[in-house]
Amino acid sequence: MAVPTLEEKPCTELKAYPVTVVPCSEVNASPLDSAPEVPPKKGRGNPLFAKRNKVLAIATAAILFLGGGSIGAIQWLAYLSAHQETDDAYVTGHLHQISSRIDGTVEQVLIDDNQHVKEGQVIAVLDPRDYQVKVNQAKAALDSAKRQANSAFTSINLASTTAQGNELTANGAVEDARASIAKAEAAVQESLAQVEHSKDDLVGKQAEMERAKLDYQRFDDLAKDEAVSQQQADNAKRDFIVAEKARDMAQKQITQANAQYLQALETVKKTKAQLIQTQGQVKLAKASQVQTEVNSKNYDVANAAIEEATAKLQEAELNLSYTTIVAPTTGRIGKKSVEVGQHVQPGQPLVTLVSDDLWVVANFKETQLEKMRPHQEVELKVDSFPGHVFKGTVDSVAPGSGSSFAVLPSDNATGNFTKIVQRVPVKVVFDKASLGMYSDLLVPGMSVIVEVQVQNHKKA
């Protein structure tokens, strides 16, 4: 191995960092050796330092990005666990189908499409003349029944006066009726027993009337809340009226029994008077008493005719009032199908009234209902008003899924089964303060995005 000469000895030269060892001859042979040597840069000007800073900056950014993403993901998961959202929701409300209760011809229409009306406001008027004629006829029938009752009452007074005269005439035959006194006294006892029996019957009829009255009051209150049908309430009212009439009849039976008791007492007196009067005078006195009873029956029939005529008059007046059709509640006219001159029938829809009381039906997946409870706060975004967020609260959750109330519900007991997440309707009511100027702009059918805050439970 050749030993390098002194000129070929390797020498070190800091041409750049890191240190490079080269032969001195190569260094001396380079034309750049004539330039002055440049010492390596120190501090921020050093390329290694810049590279280290770049790597450090990238690592720091990565750590911050990963840390911030984790925090954001945690916050997002926390937000999702505290909120449930669905866009399967819509605005709804009460739609009242207003119809006529009688047949007739429309004389006036006092509303127009989309008009806002108040409860009791007149919507349409039917021609009232035919029903006014029936009212007049009912009034005339009632007046006639009252005159017949007055005539029957006058006949009773006349017959009673005649009977008293015949009784005075028969007083001369009292001594001839001594043999009949015992029989007449037995009749008195029998009449007295009948009076007691009639009183007991009255107690039963009174109790039955009180029970029917309570039933009628309960059914009437339930009918006002639409918990039972009006027909059930009317049947309860009819039962109450029938029980009341039975009570009245029992009272009349007591009166009749008392009259019979008094009559039996008078018979005793008449039988005693038979000693003086002739048999013919006694028969005449009895005939006069029978006539009084007949006249009393005629008077009762006349009173019943008065009650019947009064009921017919009330019915005619009620039908006359039905010629004026009014709004059952406050709201807006949604559909008008009635015009002047149109002949309408009972139950025929004339106007659809949308009440001002609106709410939202949100169909949530069954997997979203675990923490959902009434009175929880809700944010509502109506598609028609994207710039406004409405507030509301959960009112209630439906007692079944939407498919449970379908006309043709699915039957999972046959064929192959595929599990499908069901949706359950949830009723959400608006916060009145958040409606603002939009209260008159919301209409049933509008699409809504519903977001329920399920962790902050607002107590009622």
Domain ranges of the chain: 10-40, 98-126+326-348, 129-322, 350-406+419-453
Instruction: Name the fold adopted by 98-126+326-348.
Output: OB fold (Dihydrolipoamide Acetyltransferase, E2P) (2.40.50)
E-assigned strand segments in 46-126? 83-99, 104-109, 116-117, 122-126
**Domain 350-406+419-453 = CATH 3.10.20.30:** no
381-422, pLDDT tens digit by residue? Answer: 999 998 899 999 999 999 988 777 777 776 666 667 778 888
Per-residue model confidence (pLDDT) at position 430? 94
Between 264 and 166, the higher pLDDT residue: 264
Distance from C-alpha of 112 to C-alpha of 102, rounded to nearest angstrom: 22
Per-residue model confidence (pLDDT) at position 324? 95
Residue type, 195: V
Q: Of 53-62, 228-237, 441-450, which one has max mean pLDDT? A: 441-450
173-205, pLDDT tens digit by residue? Answer: 545 556 666 677 777 777 777 777 777 777 887
Residue type, 65: F
In the chain, the N- to C-terminal Cα span, in Å, equals: 103
127-138, pLDDT tens digit by residue? Answer: 999 999 999 999
Residue 359 has pLDDT above 50, yes or no: yes
Mean pLDDT, range 66-71, rounded to an integer: 61
98-126+326-348 and 350-406+419-453 share one fold: no
Alpha-helical (H) ranges within 274-352 are 279-321
* Entry pTM: 0.51
Per-residue model confidence (pLDDT) at position 314? 95
Per-residue model confidence (pLDDT) at position 444? 92
76-129, pLDDT tens digit by residue? Answer: 555 556 789 999 999 999 999 999 999 999 999 999 998 999 999 999 999 999
Per-residue model confidence (pLDDT) at position 26? 46
User: Which of 353, 305, 289, 301 minimizes the C-alpha distance to 325?
Assistant: 353
Contacts of 36 by beta carbon, 8 Å cutoff, 6+ apart: none
Residue linked to tokens 């049908």: 229
User: Which of 127, 149, 151, 156 minimizes the C-alpha distance to 309?
Assistant: 149
Per-residue model confidence (pLDDT) at position 25? 47
Distance from C-alpha of 102 to C-alpha of 114, rounded to nearest angstrom: 25
